[in-house]
Amino acid sequence: MATTRKLSLVAAGIAIAGVLIGFYIAGYLVGNTPAYRPQAAAANQKTVNLVIQTVAAVGPQLAPNHPDWVSYLVRNKQGEWQRSTVFTVPANSLVHVTIYNFDGASGLRNPFLGQPQGLVGPELVDGKPVKAFAPDQPSHTFAIPGLGVLVPVAPVGDDEKNQCGYAPCAMSMAHHVTEFTFRTGEKGHYRWQCFVPCAAGFEYGFGGPMQTVGYMDGYVNVV
Amino acid sequence: MTGEVALARPRSGWSRLIGFNLLTAVVLGIGGYYLGWFLGHHITGASVDYFGDTDQNDISVFLGYILGVIGFLVGLGFANYPFARLRGYPPSLREKESEGVGRYFGLCTDHKVVGMQYLCGIGLFFFIGGLNAMLIRFELLRPNMQAFPAGQYLTLVGIHGSMMMGMMTSGILGPFANYLVPLMIGARRMAFPRIEALTFWLLMAAGAILTTTIFFGGFPTGWTGYQPLMDQANAGMDSYIVFFALVGISMSLLGLNMLATIITMRAPGLTWSRLPIFCWGVVSTAILMLLAAPVLVAVLSMGMLDRTAQTTYFVVQGGGSPYLYENLFWVFGHPEVYILALPGFAIVLEIIPVFARKPLWGYRLAVAGLLGVSLLSWLVWQHHIFMSGIDSNLRPFYMLSTELISIPTGFTFICGLMTLWRGKIRYSVPLLFCLAWFFNFLIGGLSGVFLSDVPSDTTTHGSFFSMAHFHYTIMGGLVFTFFAAIYYWVPKMTGFQLNERLGKIHFWTMFLMFNSTFAPLFAIGFLDQPRRAVSYAPSLQFLNDWASVSAFALGISMLIFLYNFVWSLAFARVPAGANPWGSRSLEFQLPSPVPVHNFDRIPVIAGDIYDYGTPAPAPTAVPAPAGGAS
Amino acid sequence: MAETLTQSAADAEDVDHGRRFLFWWLGISIVATPLVAIFLGPAIPPGHGTVEAAGQVVDNTVLVAISTPVCAFVLVMLAYTLTKFRSRAGVLEDGEPIRGNNRIQVLWVAITTVTVLFLAGFGSYELVSDGAGGGQGPSAAFTPVGYQKALDVQVIGQQWQFTYRYPSAGGVETPDLVLPENTLVRFHVTSLDAIHSFWAYELGVKADANPGVDNIAYVTTKGPLTFHVRCAELCGLWHGYMDDVGHVVSQSDFSAFLAKEKAVYAPIMKYLPPYAKTYLPDPQQRAG
């Protein structure tokens, strides 16, 4: 067998291996959601606004692989709802968060997490301040344990009309608005997550979307 | 090659693709998967409440995998012989032993072919596992890299661990024991040639299944698969369960085959006290494989039932307990780590006499050491759960039993060192890897004493310290001796030399970079970094970067090996001769490559294979094999 | 056997090499062991922040000191052998057929056995005396002196945060762990879901948090201390981020801390379940 033929076989092997390795690594990178950087309200102001919504099912349009999964969505600069949970916010500034929640109540595993913590000012639900939620009430939480921030999100009642099944949800559908502000402090990388066991069908309600970045988990990168 | 054997005329062209071969196996495997997937959806549908609004159906994934594996094995031709017997055909001991390259890509009952299949197949998955390690170290270059999504990082860790712990359990016994045990004991085949082929193809199916976990969202549990995280996880967990169960079945069959072969098929005169020490290592490992692996299959079956039939073996609220899983897993899991380590001991003791030109020092002590580790490894499993709170009053016992293991391990050390003492040492590549074993396993063993000591374990448990410890024992103990075995025996198996110079470059880069990678991890663990954590304290970045860069260099050393392997065997092709190392062991008295039926006449063993330094002409009375020994 | 025949011949020469090896090994061990015990041992974490942590440092010092001569034995022997007993280049010559030496074997077995038994005995003594900061389940036989009066602190692991309850302060729950100085503390570690492991590094405490289990670990605090808490058992997605900082403070600061937490978390107190050793919420909980 000629050496050139062997060499071309080896070269072909290396090429195939390279392609396979590329696909293999790409397999791990799939699902890495793009970072979203919310805008400051005004150029010289140290407050940024973050507008997000929670939906009971993300729907086939936003997540063809997991249309049934519960998810957070963020409103981008064009005013569209996109599925990103990696937020980049400036250090030593205030972040004003507005959450439109279209999902029902799930209840907490640890009732202690029903009280908002670590905020600047009160948590407002539909404009009214709330001190604590009963354990069966919260629909989700927006929590950044590294910053001490914890916000239970008010649910849509079972008896409310025009419920949203899956995203995209129209603003005319039943929802509640939760608003709060927190301070970012020093630079750092934090994770945020939901503490409400809202992943249906998974033991302790904590599998699937609760353990996947891009659904009920994400990063808050303070830069 | 013995060209004299009458063979069926090979078919040519595309018609060779029809029949029981790897292609059919893959087609039937994929077909079986989809059949199982379809059936699974019909069994549960989307109507069962439990699956109500998740989009995963574990039953269909399990059925898919199981039917896929069955289809794969049928396609390879594993069902042919049983059906032939049912239809009244006469029994045969061996089949599918044609000449040519094709036999390496299908069911073949020649133990030498299976050995080579194992070497390449396991090598492939070893490199996939190694690639995962590179990606892990890449993510850890910065305290908070976010290169991979956090869940995918856990999948990386889990696949790396499972691949190495699962596929490499057969890392020595698969390629080398399958190839060499019949040659060493003077037999023409293994006791169960079809089971031997089955263990290999089951392992390949398992490896492929584990790799597919990334299509199902990966799994978050690491290689231990602790409950209740396993019950909770994505459908990717099913891949892990099927993978490890198949590995367990393959392991216990492999152990059974080895034991049966060594017990029943030794040549006349090969008494237990003349058995090569490598075979003793195989015996002690095979006992563990045969008895431990069924526990793994059982506990994974319980996990599978929890995930599909909603049993509650491991759900506290349903009367189960995660402790049950931890105990059963480590009843398997601790013998498992000695399944990895013991063949390494045996290879060290087998190779050193050849290169020190001395008999093995303290043969009986060495055998006692191997069997002692094998026995004691059953009594130590709870040291993995010292901090778990389960019956803590037993901890002094497990502390004692764990530390007792260092006594038989010490036998291997003293026998190896005393064999070198006053020898005439030749520094060939296989010996270098064995010498590295002494250094690595010394560090690994001494760090193990910290972990076995409960007060010290309070800090080191579950930290990078324990991670560094078991990489020193398994990578430093198994993988180094794996390469020693490759450099020592592959010239015999293929008939061609591996390049000595490239081998030495490979050895030194691997040895230095291995230590440079894992030594800092002891410090990292003592400085408060838990295992499997995707982020860490910024103060530990320097040590982590050091380990990462060294790990990349370690990866490059593996590429040097790969280059050497391909270059020497495919291009340079320098004939190795029948006995390149001047060994007196039986396998080196056969011509290279070994003829299909090994021995034309079964040899009679008349002396000791470690008889270096005495004027005795030959250790064994080997009748001349066909083709003539060189 | 050839053993006896070669034994005497080998013995004559052995004196030389054997003695030289012993000289080097003992010399290096005698120099290195005290250095290791004095300088390296005490520097091994987790430090002297609590009685249990200091006990672990003593333990680590003993282990590392005993490891030194063992390590020296193998390395010196390897170095000596590999330099002295090389074959001449290009010559395939055999070494002496020494097949064993009963004296060395018996000595080796005896020495390793004694070392191992000492280590196991010493470790057990350290463990039995104060529990060594490890999780020891609800009913351990090894409890420190005065355990009846220990301060109870509950550690609740959940995916993915630790919270703490003080039954002595009306069961107030808080995300911050603060302990009083010079106090024997009894951690009750439990979990609401997966297995976690409560690792308070500078305290020298590690205890697995299992669902439905009250895993107890004792620690005796000394002076004020800031310590890091991490999860040491893989518990899912945010295992690597499940960390925390705790403090050991003076008795008065501790009282002030409890009072403050009671005030801050008053709104949620009425919703908390009464203090219990374990909590078992429904594993399939999910409404909408």
Using the beta-carbon criterion (under 8 Å), do C284 and A132 form an inter-chain contact? Answer: no
Using a CB-CB cut-off of 8 Å, the residues of chain B touching C108 are: 410-411, 414
Is A8 touching B (CB cutoff 8 A)?
A: no
> B50 to chain A: which residues are within 8 Å by CB?
201
* Residue in B55, B131, B151 nearest the CB of A67: B55
Compare all CA atoms of chain A with the CA of C286 and give the residue at the minimum distance.
A106
Measured in residues, chain A has a length of 223
Contact B425 C86 (CB under 8 A): yes
How far is the C-alpha of B186 from the C-alpha of B262, rounded, in Å?
10
Nearest to A132 among C237, C241, C271 (CB): C271
Give the pLDDT confidence of C157-216 residue by residue, as tens digits.
Answer: 999 999 999 999 989 999 999 999 999 999 999 999 999 999 999 999 999 999 999 999
Q: Exposed (0-12), middle (13-18) or buried (19+): which is B55, by Cβ within 10 Å?
A: middle
Token pair belonging to B523:
């410090």
Residue of A nearest to C193 (CA): A204
- Which of 121-180 (A) contact B at CB < 8 A? none
- CB-CB neighbors (< 8 A) of B392 in chain C: 134-137, 140-142
Phi then psi for residue C180, to 5 deg, are -80, 155
Other chains touching C, judged by 3 or more CB pairs under 8 Å:
A, B
Is residue A93 within 8 Å of A146, Cβ to Cβ? Answer: no
What is the per-residue pLDDT for B5?
42
Residue C113 has which token pair?
């056995």
Given a contact cutoff of 8 angstroms between Cβ atoms, the answer to whether C136 and C142 are in contact is: yes
From chain C, pick out residues whose CB is under 8 angstroms from the CB of A204: 159, 192-194, 281, 283, 285
Give the pLDDT of residue B10: 57
CB proximity under 8 Å: C 224-263 to A: 236-238, 241
pLDDT score of B447 = 94
Q: Report the C-alpha gap between C101 and B368 in whole angstroms.
A: 15
Cis peptide before C46 (omega within 30 of 0): yes
Q: Distance (Å, rounded) from C-alpha B223 to C-alpha B129? A: 12
Q: How far apart are CA B432 and CA B497, in angstroms?
A: 17
Q: How far is CA B540 from the centre of its chain?
A: 33
Residue-level pLDDT at B202: 95
| pLDDT tens column, A152-203 | 999 998 888 888 888 788 888 889 999 999 998 888 899 999 999 888 778 8
pLDDT recorded at residue C59? 92
Q: Which of B229, B235, B226 is nearest to B299 (CA)?
A: B226
Window C:194-213, CB contacts with A under 8 Å: 194
From the list A135, A201, A211, the residue facing C271 with the nearest CB is A135
Q: Which two tokens stand for residue C77?
A: 């022997």
**Binning pLDDT at 50, 70 and 90, where does residue B13 land?**
low
Helical ranges in B357-428 per DSSP H? 363-376, 395-404, 406-420
Placement of tokens 């080997």 in the chain: B622
CA angle C229, C232, C235 (to 5 degrees): 110
Q: What does the pLDDT look like over B275-313, one tens digit per residue?
A: 999 999 999 999 999 999 999 999 999 999 988 888 889
d(C-alpha B581, C-alpha B627), whole Å: 21
- In chain C, count H helices and then E strands: 5, 10
B363 Cα to chain C: minimum distance (Å): 8
**pLDDT tops 60 at residue C10:** no
Six-digit token pair at B370? 């191997």
- CA neighbor of A220 nearest in space, from A111, A97, A103, A44: A97
User: From the candidates B146, B238, B558, which should be mutated to test the interface with A, based on the most A CB atoms within 10 A?
Assistant: B146
Beta carbons within 8 Å of B294's beta carbon, 6+ residues apart? B248, B252
**Beta carbons of B146 and A199 less than 8 Å apart:** no
**Residues A63-91: pLDDT tens digits?**
878 888 889 998 888 888 888 888 888 88
Q: Which residues are within 8 A (CB) of B498 and not within 5 positions of it... i.e. 6 or more apart?
A: B429, B486, B487, B490, B491, B564, B565, B568, B569
Q: How many residue contacts between A and C have a Cβ separation below 8 Å? A: 95
Query: What DSSP state is assigned to residue A33?
Result: P
Closest in B322, B357, B462 to C232, CB measured: B462
Pairing of strands A217-222, A86-89: parallel
**For residue C193, how many other CB atoms are within 10 A of its CB?**
26
What distance in Å separates residue B144's CA from the closest CA in chain A? Answer: 7
Compare all CA atoms of chain C with the CA of A103 and give the residue at the minimum distance: C288
Q: With an 8 Å Cβ cutoff, is B313 touching chain C?
A: no
Question: What separation in angstroms does the CA of A199 have from each of A31, A143, A162, B403, C286?
Answer: 18, 16, 23, 45, 7
Distance CA B534, CA B623 (A): 61
For residue C261, the one-letter residue type is E
Best mutation target among C75, C76, C108 (most B Cβ atoms within 10 Å) is: C108
Identify the residue among C166, C173, C190, C241 best suited for mutation to test binding to A, counting A beta carbons within 10 A and taking the highest.
C241
Which residues have a Cβ under 8 Å from the Cβ of C67 and sit 6 or more positions away? B446, B449
Residues of C in contact with A155 (CB under 8 A): 288
**Strand bridging mode C172-174 / C196-200:** unpaired
Q: Say if residues A36 and A181 touch (Cβ distance below 8 Å).
A: no
407-426 of B, contacting C, C-beta below 8 A: 407, 410-411, 413-414, 417-418, 420-426
Round to the nearest angstrom and report the end-to-end CA distance of chain B: 14
Distance spanning both ends of chain A, measured CA to CA: 61
Q: How far C202 CA sits from the closest chain A CA (Å)? A: 20
Check if the beta carbon of residue C148 is closer than 8 Å to that of residue B424.
no
Does the pLDDT at position C8 exceed 50? no
Please report, for residues B104, B399, C55, the alpha-carbon distance to residue C128 in angstroms, rounded to integers and kept in the order given.
58, 12, 12
The CA distance from A67 to the nearest CA of chain B, in Å, is: 8
CB-based contacts of A171, cutoff 8 Å, min separation 6: A100
Inter-chain touch A211–B233, beta carbons under 8 Å = yes
C92 vs B439, B454, B582: nearest CB: B582
Chain B neighbors of C56, CB-CB under 8 A: 455-456, 458-459
Asked if B368 has any chain C CB less than 8 Å from its own CB, the reply is no
**Chain B touched by A207 (CB under 8 Å):** yes
- The amino acid at residue B190 is M
pLDDT of residue A3: 82
Residue B614 and residue C236: Cα distance in Å, rounded?
Answer: 62
pLDDT at res. C4? 43
Out of B60-74, B534-548, C71-85, C136-150, which region has the weakest mean confidence (pLDDT)?
A: C136-150
pLDDT of residue B125: 93
Q: What is the pTM of this model?
A: 0.92
Residues ≥6 apart with Cβ < 8 Å to B59: B40, B43, B44, B308
Separation in Å, CA of B610 to nearest CA in chain C: 9
Cα–Cα dist B28/B68, whole Å: 7
Averaged pLDDT of chain C: 88
Choose the closest CB to B151 out of A6, A199, A212. Answer: A212
Q: SS3 helix, strand, coil % of chain B, rounded to 5?
A: 70, 0, 30
CA distance A42 to chain B (A): 30
**Bridge partners for A96 per DSSP:** A49, A181
Cβ A109–C281 below 8 Å, yes or no?
Answer: yes
Cβ contact B149–A214 (<8 Å): yes
Per-residue model confidence (pLDDT) at position C145: 83
Reduced to 3 states (helix: H, G, I; strand: E, B; else coil), residue B219 is coil
Please tell me the distance from the alpha carbon of residue C112 to that of residue B305, in angstroms, as a whole number: 46
Q: Tell me which amino acid residue B201 is.
A: W
Residue in chain C closest to A210 (alpha carbons) equals: C237
Q: Kindly give, in sequence order, each residue whose CB lies less than 8 Å from that of residue B432, ignoring residues fewer than 6 positions away.
A: B484, B504, B507, B511
In terms of phi and psi (left: phi > 0; alpha: psi -120 to 50; beta: otherwise), the region of C92 is beta
C119 contact residues in B (CB cutoff 8 A): 403, 449, 453
SS3 content of chain C, % helix, strand, coil (to 5): 45, 20, 30
Å between B287 CA and nearest CA of chain C: 25
| The pairing of beta strand A94-101 with beta strand A47-55 | parallel
Interfacial B residues in 107-146 facing C (CB < 8 Å): none
**pLDDT number for residue B237:** 92
Cis check: omega of the bond before C160, within 30 degrees of 0: yes
CA distance B228 to chain A (A): 8
pLDDT band at B45 (very low <50, low <70, confident <90, very high): low
Q: How close, in Å, is residue B598 to chain A by CA atoms?
A: 28
Q: What stretches of C85-150 show up as alpha helix (H) in DSSP? A: 102-130
Inter-chain CB proximity B149 and A31 less than 8 Å: yes
Could you give the 3-state DSSP secondary structure of residue C127? helix
What are the E-state strand segments in chain C?
Answer: 151-158, 161-166, 172-174, 178-180, 184-191, 196-200, 205-209, 215-220, 225-231, 243-249
Provide the token pair at B52: 């109500």
Indicate the pLDDT class of residue B9, thresholds 50, 70 and 90.
low
Inter-chain residue contact B53 with A204, CB threshold 8 Å: no
The residue in chain B having the minimum alpha-carbon distance to the alpha carbon of residue A57 is B53
Average pLDDT over residues A99-109: 89
Q: Do C108 and B410 touch (CB under 8 A)?
A: yes
Chain position carrying tokens 């990578």: B475
Asked if pLDDT for residue A32 goes beyond 80, the answer is no
Question: What tens digit of pLDDT does each residue of B430-467 get?
Answer: 999 999 999 999 999 999 999 999 999 999 999 999 99
Distance, CA of B297 to CA of B245 (rounded, Å): 5
Q: How far is A210 from chain B (nearest CA, A)?
A: 10
